[in-house]
Homo-oligomer: A and B are copies of this chain.
């Protein structure tokens, strides 16, 4: 393993520390690796060592190339300085992808507390977005102004380009209220962005990797399940990036978006609710749905009710059309023909 610290901005004291693992074609080795960029917390006043090396080591152990960004702090933390620091770091890492043996399209950021705010901003506002974001007890919302008055509320910034996110926090965090995580995941859900989230029953702010050398881990202090986030986040990265193994780089198991509602053209993988808002699509689908309901009505009266929206949103609105039509035993050919037809319609 090679270690190196690169000064990104001398005036603002911004540095990038790299822990680079060996790569190669040899026995038990891989030619390239995915990477993680760590953004420690500290209220934009400091970069906590607790959330630097220990975090990098957790992902290095799992086979990732790891980097720690010490970004602009204190009086230098005027927005968008910290985000600019991120942009500079991410650009540098991607430029050196070959030299540093990493996949330029498999780079996650992980941020904690205020560093979590910066990770949220990177995921939602950066030109050079990460490919995944891990958000630890992140200051996602307007509370950020308490420690960095010029920093934006990132909840409002979640868009269709936001990469998959993994959120974790403790319910009783008494520094960053839990609604920060809830509001951010709610915005992700509204945009159809893939995410995973773990909110543990109780524990303090700032627990980092939950190693006993970093955090008092007695059960009276912190919910014992909290430590699971480390392994779970590694498993999740494998799901969204694909597995990096001696057998090669695998396909992702978890799609970035759960449906095609945000793609340029419509498809059978759009939700029923989304399709029916489009006049052209609705005209195609209405007869099919009428037939589906009338065929169902004999043996599955309850299913018909699923389409009824007289008392609010119907149960089927969030279902993908292909999943829905599967109840009507549609043939593969018919489904493909329908998909081709929908692909003609622009998604606006």
CB contact list, A9-42 vs B, under 8 A: 19, 21-22, 26-30, 33
Q: Are B142 and A214 in contact (CB under 8 A)?
A: no
Q: Are A313 and B60 in contact (CB under 8 A)?
A: no
Mask: chain A, 228-245; 1 = CB below 8 Å from B; 0 = not:
100010011001100111
Given A214-B28, A219-B253, are A311 and B145 neighbors across the interface (CB < 8 Å)? yes
Q: Are A50 and B63 in contact (CB under 8 A)?
A: no
Q: Are A315 and B146 in contact (CB under 8 A)?
A: yes
Which residue of the partner chain, among B49, B63, B176, contacts A211 with CB atoms under 8 Å?
Answer: B63
Which residue of the partner chain, among B61, B142, B199, B245, contacts A54 with CB atoms under 8 Å?
Answer: B61
A270, CB-defined interface residue at 8 Å: no
Q: Are A245 and B60 in contact (CB under 8 A)?
A: no
Q: Are B319 and A175 in contact (CB under 8 A)?
A: yes
Residues of B near A311 (CB, < 8 A) are 142, 145, 149
Give the contact stretch, choosing among A92-100, A178-186, A286-294, A335-343: A178-186
Mask: chain A, 117-146; 1 = CB below 8 Å from B; 0 = not:
000000000000000000000000011011
Interface of A is mostly: loop
Residues of B near A172 (CB, < 8 A) are 194, 258
CB distance from A169 to the nearest CB of B (A): 10
Q: Are A246 and B213 in contact (CB under 8 A)?
A: yes
A331, CB-defined interface residue at 8 Å: no
Which residue of the partner chain, among B74, B185, B244, B245, contacts A216 with CB atoms under 8 Å?
Answer: B245
- Residues of chain A at the chain B interface (Cβ within 8 Å): 1, 3, 19, 21-22, 26-30, 33, 43-45, 48-50, 53-54, 57-58, 60-63, 74, 142-143, 145-147, 149, 153, 164, 171-172, 174-179, 182, 185-186, 189-190, 194-202, 206, 208-209, 211-220, 223-225, 228, 232, 235-236, 239-240, 243-247, 253-255, 258, 302, 305-308, 311-320, 323
A sample of 9 more A-B contacts (CB under 8 A), given A3-B3, A27-B50, is A22-B49, A28-B215, A63-B211, A145-B315, A175-B315, A196-B201, A197-B198, A215-B246, A225-B236
